[in-house]
Amino acid sequence: MKAKYTPYILDFKKPSGTSRGILKQKETWFIILEKDESFGIGECGLLRGLSIDDVPEYEEKLRWVCQNIDLGLESLYSQLDDFPSIQFGLEQAFLSLNSAGTFNLFPSHFTENESPISINGLIWMGDEAFMLSQLEQKLEEGFQCIKMKIGAIDFKTELSILESIRKQFSPNEIELRVDANGAFSKKDALNKLKQLSEYEIHSIEQPIQQGHWEDMAQLCKETPLPIALDEELIGIFDGTNKERLLQTLRPQYIILKPSLIGGFKKALEWIALAEKFRIGWWVTSALESNVGLNAIAQWTYTLNTKMPQGLGTGSLFTNNLQSPLEVLQGKLFYRKNASWEKNLIEKLCT
Give the model's pLDDT for residue 151: 83
Q: What is the pTM of this model?
A: 0.95
Query: Which whole-number Å values give the CA distances from 227 to 112, 185, 186, 189, in the listed order?
Result: 35, 15, 14, 12
- Residue-wise pLDDT for 46-74, tens only, equals 988 889 999 999 999 999 999 999 999 99
**How many angstroms separate the CA atoms of 30 and 48, rounded?**
16
How large is the average pLDDT for residues 224-248? 96
How large is the average pLDDT for residues 35-49? 93
Give the model's pLDDT for residue 150: 87
What is the CATH number assigned to the segment(s) 109-334? Answer: 3.20.20.120
In the predicted structure, residue 20 carries a pLDDT above the cut 70: no
Q: Mean pLDDT score of the chain, rounded to an integer?
A: 93
**How many angstroms separate the CA atoms of 153 and 161, rounded?**
12
Give the model's pLDDT for residue 126: 75
In percent, the amount of the chain with pLDDT more than 90 equals 78
How large is the average pLDDT for residues 198-206? 96
Q: Do the two domains 2-104+343-349 and 109-334 of this chain adopt the same fold?
A: no
- Residue-wise pLDDT for 152-181, tens only, equals 778 999 999 899 889 888 999 999 999 998
More confident position, 296 or 133: 296
The residues that are catalytic are: 149, 257
Per-domain residue ranges of the chain: 2-104+343-349, 109-334
- pLDDT level of residue 17 (50, 70, 90 thresholds): low
Give the model's pLDDT for residue 128: 80
Give the model's pLDDT for residue 125: 76
The domain made up of 2-104+343-349 has a fold known as Enolase-like; domain 1 (3.30.390)
Is the distance from CB of 233 to CB of 261 less than 8 angstroms?
A: yes
In the predicted structure, residue 272 carries a pLDDT above the cut 70: yes
Q: Which of 34-38, 90-94, 282-286 has the lowest mean pLDDT?
A: 34-38
